[in-house]
Amino acid sequence: MGDQPGPQEILQITPLDALHHELGAKLVPFAGYSMPVQYPMGVLKEHEQTRTRAGLFDVSHMGQAYLKGADAIAAIEALVPGDIANLPPAGVRYSVLTNELGGIIDDLMISKYNGELFLVFNAACKAQDIAHINAGIGDRAALEVIEDRALVALQGPAATDVLSRFIPAARHMSFMTISKLHFGDVDCIVTRSGYTGEDGYEISIPAADAENFCRLLLGEDEVEACGLGARDSLRLEAGLCLYGNDIDQNTTPIEAGLTWIIGKRRREEKGFPGADIIIRQIAEKSPRKRVGIRPLGRAPARAGTEITDASGNIVGKITSGGFGPTAGGPVAMGYVPIEMANPDTEIGLSVRGKILPAKVVKMPIVPHNYYKD
């Protein structure tokens, strides 16, 4: 999700950088930013904190933008396969930007907000996404990139109780909705969403107010600061894709197991890049598929590990892998031929010259705990 910086590259910082230093974060280069990978309590405890109480994540490196104009919906639908026209007011939808071969340029969140569209996309892809969207929308809409707001994610079963102490209306939001709410006299753009598999919120707040807001949240007994390490293990257990690892420009949404993001109308009308290839794969099945994987021993299978069939032939590779604290052992995702994608299929993993046993499992590996009305 971002290359390591070269020796001449100056890392950007988020509005919460001083707070990260104060809290003793271990900071690492990530997508051109200096970001906290963990705090003194460590990745394992931060993961468990989010699963059982609430974790606060700085995701200000992500791209935020408004797409404005009377034809904004038609303009974005020419770039993504999601049904944005039928998204309810204040609704939030996960989708992907596709290329002419059906590959994924990036994944993003699209919300209907105050008559406009509010977009959140990956940090590592920000510049290319902005250029791609601007080129694709022409004069039908205007992309207004937001540069002066932080973005934080409060995730976990206690998130609602905590946030509603400061923003009472947050309690009444439905899952995958957006609302303009107020923290005192500060305007916040709040979505009930996240990328951990848990209930929670992402809060876009003016950069100048972000540190004070986060200090108040962290002052609550249920909340601890959490870094990129825990965010990665949480999303892996939840079966959620990391762009650049699990999905990329050579991967279609169907191969990635994201068929569900393409509604009936879009399948019938098409009109997005790579539509013919993607719709054909829906009808005929894709040659390979992203699957959940459980190594049967204790050794984790990292990204790049080769996957073998029963005869020892290399058939695919791990795209994300590591230890799953909630799962209680190693977990992974990767691509295998479609005929090997059924749960309980036995596979091998080539780790340090040895073929270790593993099996395909249904995703999510740890069940989602999203809020349901």
Is 280 contained in some domain? no
Are 57 and 154 members of one domain?
Answer: yes
| SS3 of residue 167 by DSSP | coil
Are 193 and 300 members of one domain?
Answer: no
Is 215 contained in some domain? yes
Tally the domains of the chain: 2
DSSP 10: P
Are 331 and 194 members of one domain?
Answer: no
Q: Which of 216, 237, 258 represents a domain boundary (last residue)?
A: 237
pLDDT of the residue at 340:
98
Residue identified by tokens 């290839």 is 277
Are 53 and 161 members of one domain?
Answer: yes
Q: Tens digit of pLDDT per residue, the chain (373 long)?
A: 334 444 557 999 999 999 999 999 999 999 999 999 999 999 999 999 999 999 999 999 999 999 999 999 999 999 999 999 999 999 999 999 999 999 999 999 999 998 999 999 999 999 999 999 999 999 999 999 999 999 999 999 999 999 999 999 999 999 999 999 999 999 999 999 999 999 999 999 999 999 999 999 999 999 999 999 999 999 999 999 999 999 999 999 999 999 999 999 999 999 999 999 999 999 999 999 999 999 999 989 999 999 999 999 999 999 999 999 999 999 999 999 999 999 999 999 998 889 999 999 999 999 999 998 8
pLDDT tens digit string along 86-114? 999 999 999 999 999 999 999 999 999 98
Q: Which of 368, 145, 127, 340 is nearest to 237 (CA)?
A: 368
Cα separation of 227 and 68, whole Å? 33
Cα separation of 14 and 64, whole Å? 13
pLDDT of the residue at 373:
83
How many residues make up the chain in this entry?
373
pLDDT of the residue at 352:
86
pLDDT tens digit string along 135-146? 999 999 999 999
Cα separation of 276 and 281, whole Å? 9
pLDDT of the residue at 353:
86
Are 153 and 224 members of one domain?
Answer: yes
pLDDT tens digit string along 148-184? 999 999 999 999 999 999 999 999 999 999 999 999 9
CATH code at position 205 = 3.30.1360.120
Q: Which of 219, 237, 255 represents a domain boundary (last residue)?
A: 237
Burial class (CB in 10 A: 0-12, 13-18, 19+), 291: buried
pLDDT of the residue at 4:
45
pLDDT of the residue at 56:
99
pLDDT of the residue at 8:
55
| SS3 of residue 85 by DSSP | coil
Mean per-residue pLDDT of the chain: 96
Is 72 contained in some domain? no
Which residues 6+ apart lie within 8 Å of 176 measured at CB? 91, 92, 93, 191, 192, 193
pLDDT of the residue at 102:
98
Domain that holds residue 340: 287-361
Report the share of the chain in percent with pLDDT over 70: 98
Helices 207-218 + 159-166 axis angle, to 10: 120
Q: Which of 208, 180, 214 is nearest to 54 (CA)?
A: 214
CATH code at position 344 = 2.40.30.110
